[in-house]
Amino acid sequence: MRLIARFAQELQNGIEIVDVYDKEVQKSLLSFESLKIETLTKKYPSAIWMERKINDEFGVEFIDSFDTRPLIKHEHFPSDIYPLRKDFNATEINFTEYKPYDYEAIGGDGVFQVAVGPIHAGIIEPGHFQFSQAGEEILHLEIRHFYKYRAIEKMCEGKEPMNIKKIVERISGNESVAYQIAYVEILAQASNTEIPKSLKQKYSTLLEVERIIHHLTDIGFIANDVGFAPALALGSKLSEEARRVFAKITGHRFGFGAIKEEITIDFGSLIEFLNYLEKELEFFRDWIYDIPSVWDRFDTTGKLSVEKAIKYGVVGVGARASGVKVDARDNDFYKNFGYQMQLGKKGEVSDRFKLRFNEIFNSIEMIKNFETYDNEGLEFGNFKDGEYSAFTESSIGELFMYLKIENGLVDRFFVRDPSFINWQAFHTTIYKDIIADFPLINKSFDLSYAGSDL
């Protein structure tokens, strides 16, 4: 079984820990008097961030856990509050005295630490990376995130389900459409309706366009990280063109607010662009596949082994490049429209780079099949109380979303971004690579900080 998420929610008589696996959901209720439960980390190492987060937010203790350091509570964060409990309503807290964080570090002769972040040299999101180095070689890396922790989960509580849609679509800008689709699916479940097939085709079209834009940007930036700037010029040009087409069909360059109850897509101009893109991309591929100095850096770098990918439950591009068959699109609906799972072999930077090319070609093929001019809409009725969940394949990987409605209001909102899992497996890929390759490996996964931090 693959662990998808472990999260907590407060009920009247205690705190419930929900474990979501790919085949089942397990729930355990802990009474307020004894907030203790067995850790899952022995079997599922990627449960560790989930458990540290629950401990920070609810004060639940995990028995036999190998890591009990705070996760979201940084140096100045008060340690005596449990913000996701229902009795916590403050919107302002004060900084406390500086408490140092105990980083994982490897000792030994000549081994030294390199601290990177939270503010990085490029235009990227904040996060901290602590390297243990033996000369140029990386021995270990600890990733420390949650600098962008905005408490989205708490922000959504107590609101009407329709009112948090605008927040949900801005959790992670690069995956906005995926978040919106997951949320609309949940709302459809809650009002006991089904999304009509033609509308689903349109949603999927927008999701694939979002994936194409994300992959195009990455292709340029990955090559740029080995110093091959012409690829960035071409990749960023193509992604800009794709984004403009996206803006034309959705009204927004990132598709904020694009997933509505009723949408019309100008398939004609979209497919015309895709035909052009396909040709450009074939040129791009044939050109860059022939440049040996690029592949010299891509090959054997940042290897995510199949064993580690399965052990950590890695999802999305990262998993598929290692040959692990995980994709939320792997179902009959998508297969009928030409979906083919793209797989890599070794899980190196080169595999992830090639996989992005292959996925774009597959996405283009699917969009051409998604073409529809039916105008079926979706109508939400009253949202019934209950617990709902949905999965979507964002451009990074499998997204899991959970919503609990009580008395018509949001009682608990939870998202497990694909990055949240993949970040935790990241340190296994860099062992004995040189530190100068770190940005390259990081970009080849291209994970979200905002989605992971929430």
Partner 1 sequence: MYRYWKKRFATTLEQDEELEAIKKELKKLVKKKFGGSLAIRMVDSGSCNACEAECNALSNPYYNLEELGIHFVASPRHADVMFLSGVMTFNMYHHAIDCYNQIPSPKWVIAIGDCVKDLGVFEKTYAIKGNSIEVTHYIINCPPSPKDIIYGLLKFAKKV
The binding site for partner 1 (CB under 8 A) comprises 72, 74-77, 81, 83, 88, 90-93, 95, 118-119, 121-126, 146-151, 154-155, 166-167, 170-174, 176, 217, 230, 233, 236-237, 239-240, 243, 253-254, 256, 448-450
Are 29 and 13 in contact by the 8 Å Cβ rule? The answer is yes
Residue closer to partner 1 by CB (options 78, 135) is 78
Q: Compute the least distance from the CB of residue 172 to partner 1, in Å.
A: 6
Q: Compute the least distance from the CB of residue 121 to partner 1, in Å.
A: 4
Residue spans of alpha helices (H) in 191-228: 197-224
Residue closer to partner 1 by CB (options 171, 378) is 171
Alpha carbon 139 to its chain's center: 26
Residue closer to partner 1 by CB (options 22, 75) is 75
Are 16 and 28 in contact by the 8 Å Cβ rule? The answer is yes
Q: Output 400-408 pairs: Cβ under 8 A, ≥24 positions apart.
A: 400/4, 400/5, 400/20, 401/179, 401/182, 401/183, 401/186, 402/5, 402/7, 402/18, 402/20, 403/161, 403/183, 403/186, 403/190, 404/9, 405/161, 405/190, 408/160, 408/382, 408/383
Q: C-alpha distances in angstroms, 187 versus 170, 180, 199, 380?
A: 17, 10, 15, 7
Q: Compute the least distance from the CB of residue 157 to partner 1, in Å.
A: 10
Q: Compute the least distance from the CB of residue 28 to partner 1, in Å.
A: 27
Tracing tokens 């004894």 back to the chain, one arrives at 34
Alpha carbon 90 to its chain's center: 29
Residue closer to partner 1 by CB (options 95, 373) is 95
Write out the two tokens for 259.
Answer: 């997933």
Residue closer to partner 1 by CB (options 91, 264) is 91
Q: Compute the least distance from the CB of residue 94 to partner 1, in Å.
A: 10
State the DSSP code for 257.
T
Q: Compute the least distance from the CB of residue 151 to partner 1, in Å.
A: 4
Residue closer to partner 1 by CB (options 106, 233) is 233
Residue closer to partner 1 by CB (options 113, 236) is 236
Residue closer to partner 1 by CB (options 172, 389) is 172
Q: How far apart are the C-alpha atoms of 51 and 68, rounded to whole Å? A: 9
Are 444 and 302 in contact by the 8 Å Cβ rule? The answer is yes
Q: Compute the least distance from the CB of residue 83 to partner 1, in Å.
A: 5
Q: How far apart are the C-alpha atoms of 133 and 370, rounded to whole Å? A: 50
Q: Compute the least distance from the CB of residue 253 to partner 1, in Å.
A: 6
Q: How far apart are the C-alpha atoms of 214 and 16, rounded to whole Å? A: 37
Q: Could you give the strand order of the β-sheet that contains 137-144, starting from the edge strand earlier in sequence?
A: 111-116, 128-134, 137-144
